[in-house]
Amino acid sequence: MSKKPKKFGKNEKTFSEKIFKILSKNANKPFNYKQIAAILELDDTKSRNEIIKDLKILAAQKLIIESEPGKYLVKASSQQYYEGVVDMTSRKTGYFVCDELENDVFIPFINLNHALDGDKVKAYVYDRRSSRKPEAEVIEIIERHKTEFVGVVDIQKNFGFVTTANAKMYTDIFIPKNKLAEAEHGDVVLVKLEDWPAKADSPFGSVLKVLGKPGEHNTEIHAILAEYGLPYDFPIEVEAYANKLDTSITQNEIDKRRDMRKVLTFTIDPKDAKDFDDALSFQVLDNGNYEIGVHIADVSHYLQEGTILDDEAYRRATSVYLVDRVVPMLPEVLSNYACSLRPHEEKYTFSAIFQLNAKAEVLDSWFGRTIIYSDQRFSYEEAQSIIETKSDIIPAEISLTGKEYKVPAAIVAATLKQDELAKILRRKRMADGAISFDKVEVKFNLDENAEPVGVFFKYQKMLII
């Protein structure tokens, strides 16, 4: 059966644009009208005559040159190749972002050539003849930005499709029957993009993990972790390395540090905090001035450069806090224990120690390694209660323990004095031109099943000079 000749309809691009693209993609290879017609799958006389005419027009416009009789090349100055990143929109079009170009360049859907949001690509940029506005076409995908996606699987008889909720992901992912794993119709799954054949409408992939049913709490949390590539679990070898670390407090190490264990010290953190990174210390000196210390956990004592633990921490960069859990930068033995300034435990710290007078003037400062002992853990609400009521009684409704309790007099006095000095410093900073940003953060009250049962607001003032 003979193949029906192709013809261009009203909505097709002009021959000139098609011809120019073919020559641009093969900048060093001359083409004649027969070769171009074959690429365009056109074999009728009218279309070939149109190609001959448009080649002459492009040459007259000096966009291409006739390198030898009947053969044409694109001029070197008529097209430019660049490397950059694809920034998809929600309308199945994108922009080519490149530091070498002054502006981002529009990529129509037909020119994406299977590129996805964030992919590093090679593209050529040209002026569209009809509008003279620059457009880009992806000619090579150098590196996929991501290959794992979260979505809902739709299972048919012999295959499945996974559709994501990401508006910038313009295609679903085809899953062969033998790569559906244990997924059932409607499950939320993590899939890996494995291949995208040239003539396929959708990329091919496989189910890596079944996350659960849509709407369930754990399913949605695990979907967030997977979607953003947050590595909740540590590699076995990293966990093993961390568990073998000596996290004990030794006299040999104490001798290298300023010993602050007898100075009153406490932490103030959100009531749902899983670890305690910083602490405050306070004492009245013999000269009547105040010594205030700010202490942070000395992570570098355990995290040695060049180790697999250091490499993993560098890869994660920071801890990530979700509504009901933390994705830590360090394994639990460090993040929740050795490097957490828990109450009634000695810890290695880095410290900034300041001596202030009653006018909150800094008279002296010291920075270095220390060892501390935390006498008390407070929530923000508990500390605020002391400041506002000047009382040593913490009401049951805001208590971390859920029961009313009495705060030692020394801690009450230290809290009130530090608040007094802080307000003096804040007034000075505002008078010197600082800007105050009032930040309101929405926090959730969770029940024993980590389900949200209420919300509250956390207020924070931030000063910038």
Q: Residue 121 is part of a domain; what is its CATH number?
A: 2.40.50.140
The residue-averaged pLDDT of 182-197 equals 95
Sequence-ordered alpha helix ranges (H) in 338-408:
380-389
pTM score: 0.69
The CATH number of residue 44's host domain is 1.10.10.10
4 pLDDT above the threshold of 70: no
Asked if 279 and 381 sit in the same domain, the reply is yes
User: Is residue 36 packed enough to be buried (19+ CB in 10 Å), middle (13-18) or exposed (0-12)?
Assistant: buried
From 96, 126, 143, give the residue that closes a domain.
Answer: 143
pLDDT tens readout for residues 39-51: 888 888 888 888 8
Residues near 222 by beta carbon (within 8 Å), at least 6 away in sequence? 211, 212
Taking a C-beta distance cutoff of 8 angstroms, is the pair 111, 137 a contact?
A: yes
Helix (H) or strand (E) holding 268, with range, is strand 264-269
Mapped onto helix, strand or coil, the DSSP state of residue 363 is strand
Whether residues 219 and 244 fall in one domain = no
The C-alpha angle 339, 345, 350, rounded to 5 degrees, equals: 45
Residue 196 lies in a domain: yes
Q: Containing domain of residue 290, as a range? A: 238-432
pLDDT, position 355 = 98
Is the same domain home to 83 and 193? no
Q: Give yes or no: residues 101 and 56 share one domain.
A: no
Query: Comparing C-alpha atoms, which of 276, 331, 324 is closest to residue 308?
Result: 331
What local confidence, expressed as pLDDT, does residue 63 receive? 76
pLDDT in tens, 225-279: 888 888 878 999 999 999 999 999 999 999 999 999 999 999 999 887 778 989 9
Given a contact cutoff of 8 angstroms between Cβ atoms, the answer to whether 281 and 347 are in contact is no
Evaluate whether residue 5 is within a structural domain. Answer: no
284 and 406 part of one domain: yes
* Residue 10 falls inside a structural domain: no
Please count the structural domains in the chain. Answer: 4
Query: What per-residue confidence (pLDDT) applies to 79?
Result: 53
- Cα gap 196→207, rounded to integer Å: 16
